[in-house]
């Protein structure tokens, strides 16, 4: 059902694709539709992160979810991670970031998300694609039964979104639609 809705959303965006390609600005209504599509992708990512990080997820299932999560990203996307203790950023390929998340040595992991998000304006790149940033906040809680260690942090995730015009064939007709891919993600530990 969700995929059908995304398809409809894509088709809606397709109806005004030719106008968008020629103009330098995106109308508020179209921007809202693109924002919704971007938020869907970010919600998928947050859901996948929660599954990968959960200790109840079996290894084979986590790998399958990692494949799905990777498909949300454009090739070469990286996670840039920094903590409160250091201002230097460590960079991981998306897959490597998920693998590190899966390998965390806690007996119980709880990943939740705050009900606040922020979506930037869309800016056009030299190649004609549009780029934006979605900001979300994640709460991580890991508990180790053996050591009694309980680790908590809140991170801000600034997620790049690329908005690009694509084509598909439906009943022999070429339909243009706007798709959203995720790009580099900046992960910053907050003091909250």
Partner 1 sequence: MRIVTLIFAILIASISIVSGQGIGSPGTIKDDGKFAASTKQLNQFFRRFNGEESPTDGNVRYYPGDKDYHSTPLRNGFLKILFDNQTSSVNQDLKTQFSDSVLSPNYPKYLNFHREGWYSEVQAIFLYKGKRETATIILKIQPEGLGYEWVIDEVSFPPFKDIFNKPVGDSKDFLHPLSHELGFMNLRRAFQDSKRPESFTESSFKPDYLTLFLYEMKQNNLRYETVTDVKFHFFQIEGWYFEVQQFNRPGFNTGWLISNLVKLNPGDKETIQKYIYDQN
Q: Which DSSP state fits 73?
A: B
CB 65 within 8 A of CB 50: no
Residue 139 contacts partner 1 per CB under 8 A: yes
* Beta strands 173-189 and 150-170, pairing class: antiparallel
At 39, give phi and psi (nearest 5°): -65, -35
Residue 18 contacts partner 1 per CB under 8 A: no
- Per the DSSP assignment, residues forming a β-bridge with 139 are 112, 154
Q: Which of 3, 28, 148, 171 binds partner 1 (CB under 8 A)?
A: 28
Q: Give residues 34-93 in contact with partner 1 (rule: CB under 8 A).
A: 36, 39-40, 42-43, 46-47, 50, 84, 87-91
Task: Give which of 99, 166, 164, 100 is closest to 128, Cα–Cα.
Answer: 164
Residue 170 contacts partner 1 per CB under 8 A: no
Which residues of the chain form contacts with partner 1 (CB under 8 A)? 4-5, 8-9, 11-12, 28, 31-33, 36, 39-40, 42-43, 46-47, 50, 84, 87-91, 112-118, 120-121, 123-128, 130, 133, 135-139, 156, 158, 188, 190-192
């Amino acid at each position: 059902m969700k995929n059908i809705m995304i398809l409809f959303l894509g088709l809606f965006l397709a109806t005004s694709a030719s106008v968008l390609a020629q103009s330098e600005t995106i109308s508020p209504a179209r921007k809202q539709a693109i924002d919704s599509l971007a938020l869907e992708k970010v919600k998928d990512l947050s859901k996948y992160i929660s599954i990968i990080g959960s200790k109840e997820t079996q290894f084979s299932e986590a790998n399958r979810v990692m494949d799905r999560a990777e498909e949300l990203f454009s090739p070469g996307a990286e996670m840039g991670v920094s903590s409160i203790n250091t201002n230097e950023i460590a960079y991981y390929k998306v897959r490597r970031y998920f693998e590190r998340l899966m390998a965390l040595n806690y007996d119980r992991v709880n990943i939740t998300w705050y009900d606040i998000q922020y979506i930037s304006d869309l800016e056009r790149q030299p190649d004609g694609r549009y780029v934006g940033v979605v900001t979300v906040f994640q709460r991580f809680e890991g508990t180790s039964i053996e050591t009694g260690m309980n680790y908590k942090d809140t991170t801000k995730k600034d997620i790049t979104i690329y908005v690009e015009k694509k084509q598909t064939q439906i009943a022999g007709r070429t339909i243009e639609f706007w798709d959203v891919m995720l790009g580099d993600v900046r992960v910053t530990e907050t003091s909250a």
